[in-house]
Structure 1
């Protein structure tokens, strides 16, 4: 594959003829990157093992890392599972379409490559207009992990996808920037008490408002080694810019002074140092300081885009201060901990 087709589509009023161009590629077993409300996904026919393997090859993704399957309507769930848990309608009635992925027992229709060899399949119904129409016109459930090279920051614009995957996929749908900026929440509902596997825009507090849930041990710090990931984002290092990310905990007594010391230390070693800050007009003697915002929604929306800006400036060391991990902050800190090369606590 040498050339990737770029299909620009209006996110508010998607042109159906262009949607059908992209859908035809998926129907024919190809790969198409497209926007969702969370991040851009790299899609292929979830029921076609050969097509799904193209996703793994394009992304350089480990074969045991399961994919999320995207559907257009609730009844499509019956294609993917023979056993719909009793809680499903209660949860999906509130959060579908939207950034919530559920794990259910997979049916024989779902090939092993789609689930990374797992007996469960991750499913969600996106709310993005382009995504919904693309799935509908494709006529099949669409497997779609984030449309980036494995381990890199997830893409929130078509440019990010082009930077990573041009020449590696059949087409890229340019539908503007994504709204949320973080990948979907993943909830395993095959258990008696559902287990939160990956936090996202739908927070643990949101879920606990309607059902009882547990947190997977990987989210509580009780388990660090995962042999068989049940969900994307569990086993491997993710969301990482080229720079080495150093996360500074709030337990540090004088964090501003510590940041300034680290900038000096690394610059003396001829390293280019970047700083992500949530404090507007904060001045550091770094090579590049970017303000991420104070509102968790803005932080989430801009995080991966900011990571890529630092990459474009050839930053070697990236210093980031911890934020409060309640509500959406819990999901943001999950991504930062996954990206961190080092965590400084004092």
Structure 2
């Protein structure tokens, strides 16, 4: 595990390039986003996804989350973007809104099987965190995102715990010190051309009323 302080990443673009290269080579990157640490892997790389899952000892039907660098990259996630989903993304991305999509045929079948156990869908959003977006843009594709803790265990806000748990799995760790969390994203599913809030987070149901 190579550890880089977040100030170094913010000040030196070469670090963003190095992190993107790690993802492109099938490695794992851990960095802060919305008050907790997240582990990232190339969504379209089967070995990278398996490595992430095994590192967390993830076996349950937990919902999956994917970050994309722009709305244009949705074509790599899903074969169809309903008009209401397109409008939601236009109005609320980057931001704490996760939209559920049926997975694209371009995603390896083994990956789809792993990621859709919870509800048959993949949750997608563009994060509002500046460094995360810069990394996604440099990488140029969708990344699977998971909290940096063992399944059903705490520790996603503690660099010390992350180093202990993932030292042999994560290739690059961007250290921003202890974090305190910043709320959860709102999750929306599209049914019959309308948005249905399945989990309310930092965006309220009232704010999404016009899409429902």
TM tier, shorter chain? 0.7 to 0.9
**What TM-score does the superposition give when structure 2 sets the normalisation length?**
0.85
Is residue 111 of structure 2 the alignment partner of residue 113 of structure 1? yes
Indicate the structure whose relative CO is greater, using CA pairs within 8 Å and at least 6 residues apart. Answer: 2
Contact 2:84/2:194 (<8 A) preserved: no
User: Residues 45-64 of structure 1: matches in 2 within 5 Å?
Assistant: 45-62=42-59, 64=61
How much is the aligned-residue C-alpha RMSD, in angstroms? 2.5
2:140 — aligned with what?
Answer: 139
1:10 — aligned with what?
Answer: 7
Match 1:36 to one of 17, 33, 36: 33
Distance 1:82 1:25 in 2: 28
Q: How far off is 1:91 after superposition?
A: 1.4
Distance 2:101 2:191 in 1: 6
Contact 1:11/1:176 (<8 A) preserved: no
Larger Rg computed on CA atoms = 1
Q: How far off is 1:19 after superposition?
A: 1.3
Distance 1:185 1:154 in 2: 22
User: Residues 145-164 of structure 1: matches in 2 within 5 Å?
Assistant: 145-153=146-154, 155-156=156-157, 158-164=159-165
Structure 1: gaps (5+ residues): 213-346
Note closer, same or farther for the CA distance 1:182–1:60 as it changes in structure 2 (3 Å cut): farther
Match 1:98 to one of 95, 98, 106: 95
Q: Name the SS of the counterpart of 1:90 in structure 2.
A: helix
Contact 2:84/2:195 (<8 A) preserved: no
**What TM-score does the superposition give when structure 1 sets the normalisation length?**
0.54
